[in-house]
Each structure stands twice: as C-alpha cells, then as structure tokens.
Amino acid sequence: MPDPTPHSLDQRLDAIARHPFRAKFHLRGPERVTAELSGPSTLRWHAYDLIAKRLAPAEPYKDGKQTPYRGHPVFVAQHATATCCRTCLQRWHQIPKGRELSRTERAYVVDVICRWIEREVAGSSGAEGT
C-alpha cells in the first residue's frame, strides 16, 4: 500500500498529473466554488461517503462508469487522481480489485482525493482549459 504522508502523496499526484488524460482535470466553476465554500473537513466527509458507496465494495455497481466527471469536487478529484474506479485504483495505486477496500485503503483514497483538492484550491488553477 502506498505511503500516505503529504510528501509521498504529492509525489504520487505529480506522477499521475503527467498523464495527459489526468492532467486536464482542474476544479473550475461550481465545483471550485463548492470546494472553497465547503472547506476541507466537509469535503473529507463527502469523500469518505462517496468512496464507501461507489468504490469500496468488492464489485462496485457500474464499475468503470460510476464516477461522474462533474457535479462535485470529489468526482473531479477522483478522475484527476485515478481513484475513479477499481481498475484505475489497481493500475495507479496498486490496490487490487475483487475485494472490499480495507479501512486503511479507504483512508488512503480519501487522503489522495483531499490532497489534490487542497492543492487545487491553494493554487491558481482556476485557469480555463479542457
């Protein structure tokens, strides 16, 4: 299981962001406003809830299609961090498919998502693009 320290999360996020598909995701518009107004603790709670329902089961419903691209900062972050489905979780984070996520794995996924959101809100990534 990958190391969840802020430095190691930053290294992993930087590596994932070098992938062209992942690099195009940024918080913009309503998702950015939601992230800024909600604050870190509320977003962390939302991330835990969404991960528990949509990613943690051994065989998530509609796996590979269960995460919308817009509508909540956590959804955007999931695509940006490759925590959107079990295939991406296995490929990018070495967390195997076919079994329920452990408590530690759920916490790690939420840490990755929240760290990405934190970096987005702190940065000037309100720049438009794809």
Q: Quote the CA–CA distance of 81 and 16 in Å, as a whole number.
A: 7
Distance, in Å, from the CA atom of 108 to the CA atom of 27, rounded to the nearest integer, reads 21
Print pLDDT tens along the chain (130 aa).
Answer: 666 787 889 999 999 999 999 999 999 999 999 999 999 999 999 999 999 999 999 999 999 998 999 999 999 999 999 999 999 999 999 999 999 999 999 999 999 999 999 999 998 544 444 3
For 59-85, letters b (16+ CB in 10 Å) and e give ebeebeebbeeeebbbbbbbbbbbbbb
